[in-house]
Structure 1
Amino acid sequence: MTAQTQTAARGAMPVGALETLPPDQARLVRYLRLWCDGPDGQAALWNELATRMGPTEGRACLSAFEAAVGMLLRHSRRPLMRHHLECSCVGADEAVFAEFFTAAATGEREDAMMLAVLLVHPAMLMPLVDAAQQAGLRLRRGAPQAPLHDRQPLTMTRH
Structure 2
Amino acid sequence: MPHPAPTPRGAAPVGQLAELGALESGAVLALRLWCEGAREEIGLAGPGLEALTGAMRLLLDHGRRRLMRHGTTCSCLGGDEACFAQLVALAATGEEEEALMLAMLMVRGDMAPALIHHAGDLGRALALSCAQLERLEQMDRPPASHAIH
Calculate the TM-score normalised by the size of structure 1: 0.74
Give the alignment of 1:68-147 within 5 angstroms. Answer: 68-144=55-131
| Partner secondary structure for residue 100 of structure 1 | helix
Task: Tell me the distance in 2 between the aligned counterparts of 1:126 and 1:60.
Answer: 18
Amino acid at match of 2:33: L
Q: Which runs of 5+ in 1 are unaligned?
A: 50-57, 148-159
| Partner secondary structure for residue 105 of structure 2 | coil
Seen in structure 2, the aligned counterparts of structure 1 residues 119 and 93 have a Cα distance that, compared at 3 Å, is same
Give 1:13's aligned residue: 12
Q: Which runs of 5+ in 2 are unaligned?
A: 135-149
Could you give the per-residue CA deviations for residues 73-105 of structure 1, whole angstroms, max 9, x where no partner exists? Answer: 211000000001111000000000000111011
Task: Tell me the distance in 2 between the aligned counterparts of 1:90 and 1:72.
Answer: 18
Give the alignment of 1:44-63 within 5 angstroms. Answer: 44-45=41-42, 48-49=43-44, 58-63=45-50
| Partner secondary structure for residue 144 of structure 1 | helix
Given that 2:47 and 2:121 are in contact with CA atoms closer than 8 Å, whether structure 1 keeps it comes out as: no
Given that 2:10 and 2:67 are in contact with CA atoms closer than 8 Å, whether structure 1 keeps it comes out as: yes
Q: CA deviation at 1:61?
A: 1.4
| Partner secondary structure for residue 90 of structure 1 | strand
Q: CA deviation at 1:123?
A: 1.0
Given that 1:23 and 1:146 are in contact with CA atoms closer than 8 Å, whether structure 2 keeps it comes out as: no
Given that 1:24 and 1:146 are in contact with CA atoms closer than 8 Å, whether structure 2 keeps it comes out as: no
| Partner secondary structure for residue 14 of structure 2 | strand
Amino acid at match of 2:92: A
% identical equivalent positions: 42
Give 1:152's aligned residue: none
Give 1:23's aligned residue: 22
Seen in structure 2, the aligned counterparts of structure 1 residues 146 and 23 have a Cα distance that, compared at 3 Å, is farther
Task: Tell me the distance in 1 between the aligned counterparts of 2:87 and 2:105.
Answer: 10
Q: CA deviation at 1:22?
A: 1.3
